[in-house]
Amino acid sequence: MTRNRLRLAIVGAGPAGIYAADILLKAERNFDVSIDLFDQLPAPYGLVRYGVAPDHPRIKGIITALREVLDRGDIRIFGNVRFGTDITLADLKKHYNAVIFATGAVRDASLNLPGVGLEGSYGAADFVSWYDGHPDYPRDWPLDAREVAVIGNGNVALDVSRMLAKHADDLLPTEIPQNVYDALEQSPVTDVHVFGRRGPTSVKFTPLELRELGELRDVDMILYDEDFDYDEAAKAAVSGNKQVFVIDKVLQQWRQRSVGEASRRLHLHFFAKPLEIVDDGHGHVGAIRWERTAPDGEGGVVGTGEIRELPAQAVYRAVGYFGSPLPGVPFDKEFGTIPNHEGQVLTRDKESGDARQMYGVYATGWIKRGPVGLIGHTKSDAMETIKHVINDLGNWWRPESPSEESVIEMLETRGIEWTDLDGWHRLDEHEQALGSAEGRKRIKVVPRDEMVTISRGEA
């Protein structure tokens, strides 16, 4: 008796997509598997390559583990192929039994603040994409502000503040592209102000990442005594929660430091709710206006009516990421995710309005559960989704052209210049060679056409 065979497409070669493929290949199952992994970018690894900060080599090192999965050779990669333009849901139905969407979240969540559209007001996601050398973002970034405000109290706000405050030479050992080094080197920044509307015991920073801020060369950490008059709820959080305890300890240590010697300062403003990004009179950011808040006794805050203002020539909004809709796939506009039950995609029944399973379609990673959590969380996510892919065997699509060759024919007919695993190896070696010529480990190639040409061996 011939065994069933699952031809599976995974869209998104970030950690979620790669873990899903790996888990399925290793899972106990009574059918064979053939997986094709598509990504719109010429190189795999998603936000590990294009989100994780370049001065986090340990986290960037997760790429080595993901690469080992791909190097086994039992997953085909098609990079530089965008779902929605190069391939559609109808194409996938024609060639596969099922698809898993692992497309993550790459955009900034919106922030409704007067002045948000001024010149000099930036989304953190755009800045991250720039310094991490994302091919679809402009090469130039206007780093002309002396005083910068960063809105947000999560790890992305820490990354952005650190990258803005750090001296460019201290980033040279990392893989930052040359244009990023050149721009950071010219930056006149002296003060980076980070704003959070709650108190120090309610931040979303993780302790390790927070501690790093205090280790920057020639950067003073500035904290304000008025933020450390803890109420009972804050005191209870410090004594009852290990993470809050460590965060408080780090902040208290910084408060004891003598400051004044460094050429740059990183200020943490708590109980500060941004109200407006103020126009300098020429359509450019000139200041940030905020309201001082106070604890409400239950772990939240209320406005005090006291309004303050600080000069700033640039404002960065680090208030979260947001997923993007995919053509033909249900989308939850409120949460920026694909509606699903444990990874099984749900659609609304046109007549009854009830949610029902969209057979053959699955989701995993940030597009499944929203842009929160670390890379490791995408593994448990993938396990849950794969369990359903396996159990749903009777409900898979029945493709008209399930052969592996038929997909290549489709891409070739459309003139799509896809990149594959060998191509990634070529690009990887090229980037390392660029780095070693400068005494560095790697220098990233940024332009998409250059990435594609190198990957396809056409350079």
Which chain residues interact with ligand FAD by CB under 6 A? 11-17, 38-41, 46-48, 51-52, 56, 59, 82-84, 102-104, 128, 156, 159, 321, 326, 365-366, 373-375, 378
- Residue 123 is labelled as binding a ligand: no
- Residue 100 is labelled as binding a ligand: no
Strand order in the sheet with 272-279: 272-279, 285-295, 301-311
Q: Which two tokens stand for residue 15?
A: 């950690």
- Residue 374 is labelled as binding a ligand: yes
Nearer CB in complex with ligand FAD: 193/369: 369
CB 289 → ligand FAD: shortest distance, Å?
27
Nearer CB in complex with ligand FAD: 103/455: 103
Q: Which residue is nearest to ligand FAD (CB)?
A: 14
- Residue 373 is labelled as binding a ligand: yes
- Residue 215 is labelled as binding a ligand: no
- Residue 241 is labelled as binding a ligand: no
Check residue 25 and report its DSSP letter: H
Nearer CB in complex with ligand FAD: 15/360: 15
Q: Which two tokens stand for residue 3?
A: 């065994």
CB 305 → ligand FAD: shortest distance, Å?
34
Nearest Cα residue to 69 out of 320, 458, 379: 379
Nearer CB in complex with ligand FAD: 163/443: 163
Q: Give the span between the Cα atoms of 261 and 222, in whole angstroms.
A: 12
Nearer CB in complex with ligand FAD: 366/396: 366
- Residue 372 is labelled as binding a ligand: no
- Residue 155 is labelled as binding a ligand: yes
CB 245 → ligand FAD: shortest distance, Å?
22
CB 431 → ligand FAD: shortest distance, Å?
17
| Half-sphere CA count of 301, side-chain side, radius 13 A | 22
CB 208 → ligand FAD: shortest distance, Å?
9
CB 9 → ligand FAD: shortest distance, Å?
10
Nearer CB in complex with ligand FAD: 11/221: 11
- 8 A C-beta contact, residue 294 and residue 272: no
Nearer CB in complex with ligand FAD: 218/449: 449
List all residues 6 or more positions away from 200 whose beta carbon is below 8 Å from its beta carbon. Answer: 227, 228, 234, 247, 248, 251, 268, 270
Residue 46 region, left (φ>0) first, then alpha (ψ -120 to 50), else beta?
A: left
The strand ranges marked E within 80-189 are 98-101, 107-108, 121-123, 147-151
CB 283 → ligand FAD: shortest distance, Å?
28
Find the angle CA(162)-CA(164)-CA(312) to the nearest 5 degrees. Answer: 120
CB 183 → ligand FAD: shortest distance, Å?
18
List all residues 6 or more positions away from 97 whose beta carbon is below 8 Å from its beta carbon. Answer: 6, 7, 8, 360, 396, 397, 398, 399, 402
Nearer CB in complex with ligand FAD: 75/237: 75
- Residue 16 is labelled as binding a ligand: yes
Q: Which two tokens stand for residue 61?
A: 């090192």
Residue tagged 């399925």 (tokens): 24
Q: Which two tokens stand for residue 372?
A: 């929160």
Please give the torsion angle defined by the CA atoms of residues 46, 325, 101 and 395, in that order, rounded to the nearest 10 degrees: 180
Annotated binding site for NADP(+): 153-156, 197-198, 209, 373
Binding-site annotation: residue ranges for FAD: 16, 47, 366, 373-375
Binding residues: 16, 47, 153-156, 197-198, 209, 366, 373-375
